[in-house]
Each structure stands twice: as C-alpha cells, then as structure tokens.
Structure 1
Amino acid sequence: MDASVVVVGAGPAGLMLAGELRAAGVEVVVLERLHRRTGESRGLGFTARTMEVFDQRGLLPRFGEIETSNQGHFGGLPVDFGVLEGAQAAKSVPQSATEAVLEAWAGELGADIRRGHEFVSLTDEGDAVEVVTRGPAGEQRLRASYVVGCDGGRSRVRKAAGFDFPGTGATMEMFLADIRGVDLQPRMIGETVPGGMVMVGPLPDGVTRIIVCERGTPPQRRTEPPQFNEVADAWKRLTGVDISHAEPVWVSAFGDATRQVTEYRRGRVLLAGDAAHIHLPAGGQGMNTSIQDSVNLGWKLAAVLRGDAPEALLDTYHSERYPVGRRLLMNTQAQGLLFLSGDEVQPLRDVMSELIRYDEVSRHLAAMVSGLEIRYDVGTGRHPLLGRRMPRLALTVSGRTTSSSALLCAGRGVLLDLHDNAQLRRRAMGWTDRIDVVTAVPGGLDDNHHVARTTAVLIRPDGHVAWAAPGSDHDLPMALSRWFGPSR
C-alpha cells in the first residue's frame, strides 16, 4: 500500500479529513490538481457547529480574534439566532483562511499533500483501491485501502466509482464577485429588484462582495470563470448602476442545482462534502456541512483501518450524514424559492416574516441552518444528550481546569465520569487503548438543562454522545462495543 487512505481534493472537506486521519495515526495522501490555493472565498465565516468542531481539535486560536453574530437569515428574511443558545456564527472569516489553517494543521500532523496531482481514474479491487493520478512526473499509480472523494460538485471520483447522483439540474445562473474601486450601498441578501435579486456586502481591505441573480438566465456549462463584464452588464440591467470600472478581485458563477448521492459509500470508495451533495449556497451551510461530513467519517475510517472496529462501522457514516445532507438540500431549496422568485412569492414571504416573529419558529430555523438540530441514532434512552453533541463544559480534572472540548483534542473517545464511580471505570477497562477515561468535577453543570443530573457520558471522537447515565437503555459495554469495537 502506498497509503491507508487517498483523499482526492484539498478543499475544506479534504483537508479536515486528512487532519482527522493523521490525528488518529493513519497514513493519508491528499491529491489536489491545483498547484496552489486560489485565494477565493465563496464561504465567509462558519456556523456554531463548525466552531465547536474546531474548538474540540484546538484549532480556534489559529483563526485569531473571531467576531461572532446572532444575526442570520432564512431565504433573505432576518432571523435572530440569539433565541437559540449557542447558535451564533463566526463572521468575516474567508474560506481561504479556513483552508490555510486546515492545510497547516494537516501538514503538521504529517499528511502528505500533493499539489499539482490530478485524479485520473480508480479501480476498486475488493481488498484495495488503485488510483491513477497525473502529476509533474507523469502518470502514477497509488494503492490504498480506501479512497475518499472530496473533489467538489463535479467530482471525478464520484463519476469514476459509479455513484448515482439524482436530483434537479440548475435552472438559472448567478454571479458572485469580489471587487474594488466602487462605492455601493449595502444590500441584504434576498433584496429583490425587478427581474432578480442582488446583494452588496463590505469586506476588509476595501473589497466589496456582490451577488447578482437575474431571473431567466439559462445555466451555462462553463470550464472557466465568467468575465467581469458579464457581471457588470447583469448588475446594470437589474440596478441601473454601472460598475464596469471596478477592479475584479475574483469572479465566479453558480447555479441552483440540487443533487445528492444515494449512498455515501460504495465498497472502498467514499464521498464527503460537495462530492456527495450540491445545492444553492444559502445561509453559508455548504462548507460547514462538508467539514462536518469529514469529522464524522475520519475517526470511523481510522478505527476500521487500525483494526479496532469492524468494517460495518463505516455504514454509520451514510446512515448519519445522508439525512443531514437531505435536510440541507430541503432547506436551501426552500430559501431559494423565497429570495429568487418574483412577486408571485411575496405572499409567502409575508407569511414567513410573520411566523419568524415567534421565538419557537426562529429557534427551529436557527437550529436547522446552524446544524445544532443534528441528533444521530445512537440507541434508545431518555437522556436528552443521546446522539447530540456534548456541550462545552468547564471541568476540573486532578486539580486542573479544562473543558469537555479540550478532552477531545487528541481525537479519541472519552468516557467522562462525573460521579467518581470506580465501578463504571472498571467496566471500561477493556477499551482504554481506544478511549480516555476521565474523572472530572463539573462546573456549571446545573445551568445546562441537557446535562443536569448527568453522572457519566461516553463521547465519540466527533463530539457526539454515544451513551449517558442515567437514561440510556443500553449498558456501557454495549455502547463501547458498538462504537469502539470489542473489548480487549
């Protein structure tokens, strides 16, 4: 084997997966056709759920001071995310900065990131996958135990492995551009004008971001970004303002295609991020969902490769992340109807605006867009934390102040004993090569309704609670065996 895992694509999903695998001690090669990062940033900032993911790996300080906001939207209609605890999002962190942080982290952990290497084909041989790649030295062949396609919406890995990708094609083309040298009044996302929708947002360093969606524009099959004059012409048609003199920093086109693979795994080939699902970019959810795909997959793939867990563990990647992707497509389609349609949808916008004034509706939409609603099926029980992410709790361990998030930095599972229960710790002895058993004194536990009266929790490496006491119907050894393999 040339590597345990070959990851195709060095975007946020591929780099996050590479870091997760290396943190678990798995050899990984990342193939990226581009010789260097583009510096483009379709995404700006990240959701509360992604902040939690970065926090649990100790990555948040690498972003410097992060400005957060409770202000969000659904289909261009303002939503106060502050009605939902912990739903604030990071603002003005360009995707290029996120990629730089993740690439540095994965590289420090020993990921072999090969830029200028283009994926050509693959063959799943049953016990391994052979990948053909074209790089500076010509064509090369790599053998790996698994291949993960993180190569975007036009994924070659997806096509080469024969994944079904049903859904709807694009019905229109839209433009996104970062420009300099023009003074435009801010316009909120979803601000409709006769014939379409436009947005204007200020960015640092004198850069202005614009989005222009002109109804009735057929989608183009482009191999290169659009010319800026196309953007300027569309902007003038919709707003009457001439921006042709502006300096384009970068220009991109996108559409409203909505597709999702029917399975996230076929044999030894798996997909993550945009390779598995494409959708209208609404609410900044795409990059965040892609990163969370990789966090769900990474520890499972590592456990199987190390021989800790059976291969069936990989099936839970599909069963847990497919529903998340399906809801992502559903809510972005709904948002598209709200901010891309014409006057015929105004009554629906008016009704939605009324509903959003109810806190319960705002909480529901905020949870959906931020990812805080996600709850995996980890078994039955009455405990409210089962399947959810473990909230960040202040803890004292052996006289040292720490947190539940910090305990996950090593990428291992954690059995958190909050009642100094020696019998509980003894029952977990057969898994201590794969999980950390930590006795801690909680701080502020009673202030969180999800964790009040909790005596112990089993936390998976991705931060989700697999077992909790009291309230789980399954006993601890059963939960440990399910997620971490048999006792040793």
Structure 2
Amino acid sequence: MQGEHPIRAQVLVAGGGPVGMLVAAELAAYGVDTVLLEPRTEVSDQPKATTLHARAVQSLARRGHMPGPARPAYGPEPASSAFHFAGLPGLTITAPPHEPEPVLKCAQADLERHLESRARTAGARILRGHRVTDVEQDGSGVRGTAEGPQGSAVLRADYVVGADGARSTVRTRSGIESDTVPATVSALMGTVTLADSGDLPKGWHRTPRGWIVAKHDGDRTHLRTLNCAGPHEDRRSPVTLDELRDEVAHIAGRDIAMHSPHWLSRFSDFARLARTFGRGRVFLVGDAAHVHFPIGGQGLSTGVLDALNLSWKLAHAVHGTAGPGLLDSYDAERRPLARRVIDGTLAQLALMRPGPEAEALRTVFTGLLTAESGSGHLSGLISAQDTVLPDPTGAGGPAAGTYLANTALGTPDGDTDVIRLLHDGRPHLLLLGEKADRHREASRAWAGILHTVEVRPTPAVPYEAVLLRPDGHLAWVPGDGELGQVLTAYFEPGAPATAG
C-alpha cells in the first residue's frame, strides 16, 4: 500500500457532515489552516435532518452562513412557526422582531453542500475519501493516521475536532468516555412509493401499537415508524421493504401497499453523552458528543450551536489570543445544554408510549401547548431561545450569558444591526452614549482583538456599554465587575486581531 504525504494543519476536522463543514468554514474564515477529512466521496442525499430551530438559525445568520438569499428581509414583527411536542400539535415557536423565521426547513444534504462551498471559499482543505483511523496527543499537538485513496496517511495538527458521528473514532481513540441510555424502542425510516397516497395522509398517525409519520414528496412518501414494544434485535441489520411494509401494517392495523424503496434504515432511542466535550487538544461536536432520539428535530441545531461556540474559541487558541480558560468554557457551556436536549427527547418519548397513563399525560400537555403562546418553557426547550450561558468570570454583570436579539444600531459609519455587525467574527465592544468613553480606555490593551463601535443609545440595548461575543451572547455589561477583568478571562491582551 502506497503511503501519502503527511497531512499537516493547525486544526484537523474529522467528519464532513454539516457540523464538521461549519467548523471548517468558521476556522478558515478566522485564518486558521484547516483540513477536513470525510470518508464519503460525495454528499449523500439520503433523507436525514431537515429542521433548524430558532437559536441555530439566528446564530447562522449572525455569521453569514444562512442558506438562500445573502440578506433575507427580517420583518419588524415577531415571527411564529407551528411545531409539535412529542407528536402533539399546538406548539408555537416565536422569534423576536427582526430575526429570521424560527423554524427553517432545509435538507441536511443541501446545508452540507452550502457549508462545504463556504469552507472551500474561505480556504479550508476538504479531503473527501479520507477516514481518520487513529488520533493520539503528545506534548506539541495531535498526531494520527487516516486511510485515503492512495493508502494510509500520517496526520499532524495542533488541534483535532471530532465531527465524525455517533460512532466517532476521535472520541473512542482519545479515550473520552460516555454516559449512555440503552435502546427501548424500535424505529424504521424509508422513502417509498405508495400504491395509493390516500392510504396514509400526511402527518402524525398514532394507534395503540405505535406511531407512523408520513410526508409526501411528489410520487414518493417519507415514512418513519415508532414501535415501543422493544428495541431491534440486530441494530445493524439491513432494512428490507417487507420489514417496513409489515411494520407499517402492524401499527396502522391494515395493509398499506408500497413499492420502490429508497434509503431504508433503522434507529432507536439509544442516547449517548460524552463525559467531556474536550480533552487536551481534542474536541467533540455534534453526534460525536451527543446522540438522542430524533423527535423534535433538535440534533442538527444542537450540533450547529456546538460548532459556532467552539470555532471562535479554537481560532483564538491557535492564534495565541485565547484567555487561560477560554477553551475550557466550550465544555462548560455546551455539555449541560446537550444534556438538556437528551432529557427533553426522553420526556417526549415517554409521552409517545402507549397506555392510559401516557394518554392522560398527552391530554395535559395538549392544554399546556395551547396555553404557551409561543414563548413558554416548551418552546424554549425546543428552540433553545431561553439559553443563558454561565458567566465564567462572575464579573459579567446582570445580562452576562444572555443572547442579544437583533436590533437596529446607528453608528458613525452608518446604520447596521446586530446580525450584520457579527459577520466579521470578532468580539464587539459597543459604546452607547457619552459616559461610555471610560470603557474604551479600559479595553485599550485588547484593541487588536476587539471591534469597538460607537452606537447611538437605543432602548433595545439599555446599557452604556456591552461586550458582545462572536456567537451573539453578552460577555459583559456594566455592573459590579470590571470590563478588564472579563477581557482578561476571555482574551490575551496586546495581541493582533483575528479576522472573520
């Protein structure tokens, strides 16, 4: 077997799904030498995730990664989208004014292509047909191996990001252990042609024997089934058309003729949460870090938020501008939120199980969904819009960790808004009003990192100054803590800027 030349990079990303491509696009935009290795030679069009929820959509918009028009119009009124909770209709998810629609439907394959294009344009090297087989940390970085078209290759990087899915090689070879929840249900997914599409109307169908979800796309129908009687005997055995047909008939209580199968697969409610999202110079994002039952469509959104949280921190670490605990904050901020998603999906599955107790719970939750009006706990649980990150300094002030909603901002260089301001990927110090000049002086040692912007006072930002992280969360507002104390925790002073 002929060996390849060594593959060297400042950051190596293992896995080229949408989450891995987003990490590569972000890092390359920050000027980080980035290589992404992906076993597939081309994007798979197999139906997978199709939903991005509000906080992920808002965060992608702030970094300029939204698929579709470069600058869609975000209306002045709150935008609402109908969704479900555990298959129950009535959940409304509402985004604040001037934000994108709170639920974006986008096929995973289309998002992957979009982000791969952005990653390549930014300068990332995307090596398809390459599978990472081993990683090992040493005193100066991470070394490993990969299998590619020409045989084995040696890897060398300062950092490695594992975006290589639920069976992550990076996670296992790095010795990162996980907490798991065993499978208790069986589920099938497939795209077929129904002999009569009227046999199974679009939507969620519940019977005493389980659930069927049907979505029609031209002459094809995307089917998902849920059987709570127990897990698959062999999780990895191929699914046949006969198995899917029999399962649909069992749940529906009648035969439904189907043919021409595509993309048949099986899944379950097995859940995994890595015990740390970062160890030394190795980090995990997306399914490599957390796996859960796909009810609620939160998996892709959670991975997107992982990628956006980690990438700017990792870029500062590569450039030598990260504060002492900046990389550690990735695990501290993202792992509890992944735990929350797993707990939420387990709760939804409990509502979907058969039995009189679950039926009573569904009745109660149907009333709760109606009463929430788009801004309650369940809406926040699904959309992640209620996320408040921990303040690593204790000096960030009363709003530290909250997300700054999009709003118009008047500056000496013209009118802008929060979304457009964050496209450059830098932390921003917003100075609002005459009393804010003292904060400019306090931040002078970080002038090469910060984008300091004078902003006309606005009721939407009720502070004389704010320190805004590149991911849209507030790091500091005036309070008992000093700006310099927070900047010291996040960034090294006196360093050159990193462009986004």
Pick the aligned partner of 1:347 from 351, 360, 372: 360
**Residue 50 of structure 2, aligned match among 44, 65, 74:** 44
- Within the alignment, does 1:436 sit opposite 2:451 as a pair? yes
Partner of 1:192: 206
Tell whether 2:484 aligns with 1:477. yes
Q: After the TM superposition, which residues 83-482 of structure 1 pair with which residues of structure 2 at under 5 Å, given as runs?
A: 85=96, 88-180=101-193, 182-184=196-198, 185-189=200-204, 191-203=205-217, 205-223=218-236, 225-310=238-323, 312-359=325-372, 363-378=376-391, 379-380=393-394, 385-420=399-434, 421-441=436-456, 445-446=458-459, 448=460, 451=461, 453-469=462-478, 472-482=479-489
Shift of 1:96: 1.2
Q: Partner letter of residue 454 of structure 2?
A: T
Of residues 206-215 and 400-409 in structure 1, the stretch that sits farther from structure 2 once superposed is: 206-215
* 2:475 partner amino acid: A
Which deviates the most, 135-144 or 54-63?
Answer: 54-63
Q: CA deviation at 1:245?
A: 3.3
Task: Indicate the SS of the match to 1:409.
Answer: helix
Q: Quote the Cα distance in structure 1 between the aligned partners of 2:142 and 2:19.
A: 20
Q: Please report the RMSD computed on the Cα atoms of aligned residues, expressed in angstroms.
A: 2.5
**2-side partners of 1:120 and 1:61: how far apart?**
32
Task: Give the superposition deviation at 1:206.
Answer: 4.4
State whether residues 202 and 216 of structure 2, in contact with CA within 8 Å, keep that contact through their aligned partners in structure 1: no
SS state of the match for residue 466, structure 2?
strand
Aligned-residue offset at 1:82: 4.7
Q: C-alpha offsets along residues 147-182 of structure 1, whole Å, 9 cap, x if unaligned?
A: 111111111111111111112121222012233455
> How many Å separate the matches in 2 of 1:252 and 1:139?
31
1:482–1:334 Cα change, 3 Å = same
Shift of 1:365: 0.6
Shift of 1:244: 4.5
Provide the rounded CA distance (Å) in 2 between the counterparts of 1:119 and 1:380. 40
| Unaligned ranges ≥5, structure 2 | 1-6, 496-500
Change (3 A) 1:118 1:221: farther
- Residue deviations 1:179-226 (CA, integer Å, cap 9, x gap): 34551443544x4212111111234x4443221112324325444652
Q: 3-state DSSP class of the match of 1:152?
A: coil
Q: Which residue of 2 aligns with 1:26?
A: 32
Counterpart contact for 1:166–1:262, Cα < 8 Å: yes
Kindly tell me: are residues 79 and 311 of structure 1, through their superposed partners in 2, closer, same or farther at Cα, counting changes over 3 Å?
Answer: farther
- CA 225–313 in structure 1, closer or farther in 2 if over 3 Å, else same: farther
* Farther off after superposition, 215-224 or 226-235: 215-224
Report how far residue 35 of structure 1 moved.
Answer: 0.9
Whether contact under 8 Å (2:80, 2:94) holds in the other structure is no
- Per-residue CA shift, 1:296-319, capped at 9, x if unaligned? 111111111111124532111111
Structure 1 residues 209 and 62 mapped into 2: Cα distance closer, same or farther (>3 Å)?
same
Q: Secondary structure at the match of 1:358?
A: helix
Bigger drift between 241-250 and 476-485 goes to 241-250
For 2:43, what is the secondary structure of its paired residue? coil
Q: Secondary structure at the match of 1:19?
A: helix
**SS of structure 2 residue aligned to 1:481:** helix
Asked whether the equivalents of residues 265 and 318 of structure 1 are also in contact (C-alpha less than 8 Å), the reply is: yes
1:125, distance to aligned residue in structure 2 (A): 1.2
Is 2:167–2:288's contact at 8 Å kept on the other side of the alignment? yes
**1:44-86 residue CA offsets vs partner (Å, 9 max, x unmatched):** 1311111111111122253687998521121122243256646
| CA distance in 2 between partners of 1:73 and 1:404 (Å) | 30
- Structure-2 separation of matches of 1:197 and 1:462: 38
- Percent identity over the alignment is 33
Q: Closer, same or farther in 2 for the Cα pair 1:412/1:84, shift >3 Å?
A: closer
Letter in 1 for 2:87: G
Question: Quick one: distance in 2 between partners of 1:376 and 1:197?
Answer: 36
User: 2:19 corresponds to which residue?
Assistant: 13
Q: Which amino acid aligns with 2:448?
A: D
CA distance 1:9–1:36, change in 2 (3 Å)? same
Q: Deviations over 1:402-430 (max 9, x none)?
A: 11111111211111112253332232222
Q: 1:140 to 1:215 in 2, by over 3 A?
A: same
> Equivalents in 2 of 1:158, 1:337: separation in Å?
29
* Mapped contact 2:186–2:232 kept (Cα < 8 A): yes
CA contact (8 A) 2:11 2:35 kept: yes
Distance in 2, matches of 1:140 and 1:311, equals 33
- Whether the 8 Å CA contact 1:84–1:363 is kept in 2: the answer is no
Q: Secondary structure at the match of 1:357?
A: helix
Aligned to 2:66: 60
Structure 1 pair 176/277, CA: closer, same or farther in 2 (3 Å)?
Answer: same
Alpha-carbon contact 2:427-2:450 (below 8 Å) kept: yes
Q: Give the Cα–Cα distance (whole angstroms) in 1 for the partners of residues 57 and 95 of structure 2.
A: 16
Contact 1:74 1:335 in 2 (8 A): yes
